Every structure is written in C-alpha cells, then in structure tokens.
C-alpha cells in the first residue's frame, strides 16, 4: 500500500508539472505559430524604452489595448518590447501605436517585426 501511495504522489507531481508546461501560453509562441499560418491575426512587435517593473508592463498593455483594432498586447520590461496582436482585418498605424506608447510615458523604439496577414 505504501508503494501505491508513493507512485500516486509521483504521478500527481508529474501531471501537475506537465500541465504547467502545456498550459503555459507564452505570447511569443503565438508569434511562432503565426509565422507558419498567415491566416491568423497580424502580430507586431515594438521596442519600448523606460519600462523597469511589472507595473510598467501593465500600464503599457492597458494603453495599447485601448487602440481600436488591437486584440491583445503583452509587454515585457525585461525584453524592452511590446507584442501586439491585431484583430482580423484591423488597420492600425505605427503612429497610433507609438502615440499610445508615449501616452503611457515610455519611449517607442523601432518596430522589431510583423508576423501574420497584411504584411
């Protein structure tokens, strides 16, 4: 019976750690998927300077998500970037995004990449 309990515990730990890996949905993995399938939403990435904490990330994401046509945004102060997923068919200009970055009190850098349709 003790062997069964230990085996059960190991299986539970394995399933728990495996589900963490499976369900950890990193935004960059969506960019890689979008490179393979051009029918998905357009994803753009911009350099952003001035972020130095998780609160900065949150503030930038909130500002960028206010743009009509933006489906989602993920910022990273460590990577000094914001990755923006646009809604299908959305036409969002670089100027609009840069304006929102500035409105969040950060400095926009260069556009790093564009992936998906409408390239």
- Candidates 56, 59, 62; CA nearest to 77 is 56
Percent of the chain at pLDDT exceeding 90: 55
Q: Could you give all domains of the chain from N- to C-terminal order, each with its CATH number?
A: 26-115 (3.30.70.100)
> Mind listing the pLDDT tens digit for each residue in 18-29?
444 444 345 555
- Average pLDDT rounded to a whole number, residues 31-42: 54
pTM metric for this prediction: 0.63
Element housing 47 (H / E): strand 43-49
pLDDT given for residue 97 in this prediction: 95
Percent of the chain at pLDDT exceeding 70: 63
Sign of CA dihedral 23, 66, 63, 80: positive
pLDDT given for residue 116 in this prediction: 67
- Candidates 103, 32, 41; CA nearest to 67 is 103
């Amino acid at each position: 019976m003790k062997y069964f309990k230990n085996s059960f515990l190991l299986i539970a730990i394995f399933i728990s750690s495996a589900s963490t890996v499976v369900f950890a949905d990193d935004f960059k993995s969506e960019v890689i998927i979008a490179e393979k399938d051009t029918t998905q939403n357009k994803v753009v990435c911009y350099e952003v300077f001035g972020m130095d904490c998780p609160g900065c990330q949150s503030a930038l994401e909130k500002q960028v998500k206010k743009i009509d046509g933006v489906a989602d945004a993920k910022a990273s102060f460590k990577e000094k970037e914001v990755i923006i997923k646009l809604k299908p068919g959305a036409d969002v200009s670089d100027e609009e995004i840069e304006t929102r970055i500035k409105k969040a009190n950060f400095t926009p850098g260069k556009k790093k990449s564009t992936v998906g349709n409408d390239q």
